[in-house]
Amino acid sequence: MIDLHTHTLYSDGELLPTELWRRAQVLGYRFLGVTDHVDASNFEMVFARLQAAADSLKGGAPPYFIPGLEFTHLPPAMIAPLTAKARAMGVPLIVIHGETLVEPVAPGTNRAALEADIDILAHPGLITLEEAALAREKDIFLEISARKGHCLANGHVARMALEAGASLIVNTDSHSPGDLISRQQAERIARGAGLTEDEVQTVFENAEALARRLAGV
């Protein structure tokens, strides 16, 4: 299993980074992206803590721990400047909290995120075909979410991505221990979004390539 969108108690999750990592290990995860919620007030502090956790786990058993950030509920005009600062700090994995159907995310967030230097647009809700095409051009992954509420637009996201040729990824957006899932369940969620078996395999092959690039392995 590859999961590049999870949370710890450094934002609104329930576990320490190493606790989350251990639970993912038991479920057979190979790559774990930890992307706590941040804005201008805390992104430097949160990344320093996640990097420390990643450093403590280097060279051990899988999953490979990838420290990252999820910029959340930013005014769209702030997305590009803050993600640029994060990249300058060496943040390998940047996720943007997209225009989910279940939260009042500012309109224009999806577009601003796709114009910035990011890796994943999380739960992008009613993303447009034009935005999905921009994701393809920028090599940004669009998320199929396993999380309650955020998953409501999975079918639409998958359809837009397939039509535009954009890459998809299945993530848990885990906040609690019970949010982590198996590879089999992730495949079922992708099928539930309308993907064929061949398309599901392509999703996981692309996710593997992304995870390896982010991890530098």
Q: Where are the domains of the chain?
A: 2-215
Could you give the C-alpha distances from 144 to 50, 54, 76, 185, 196, in angstroms and in order?
24, 25, 22, 13, 14
Question: What is the predicted pLDDT for the residue at 59?
Answer: 84
Question: What is the predicted pLDDT for the residue at 18?
Answer: 97
Phi first, then psi, for residue 123 (nearest 5°) are 25, 70
The whole-angstrom separation of Cα 99 and Cα 80 is 16
The whole-angstrom separation of Cα 205 and Cα 92 is 19
Provide, rounded to the nearest whole percent, the portion of the chain with pLDDT above 70: 100
In CATH, what is the architecture of 2-215? Answer: Alpha-Beta Barrel (3.20)
- Give the pLDDT confidence of 4-19 residue by residue, as tens digits: 999 999 999 999 999 9
**Is residue 87 pLDDT above 90, yes or no?**
yes
- Give the pLDDT confidence of 54-78 residue by residue, as tens digits: 999 998 899 999 999 999 999 999 9
190 is written with which tokens?
């992708």
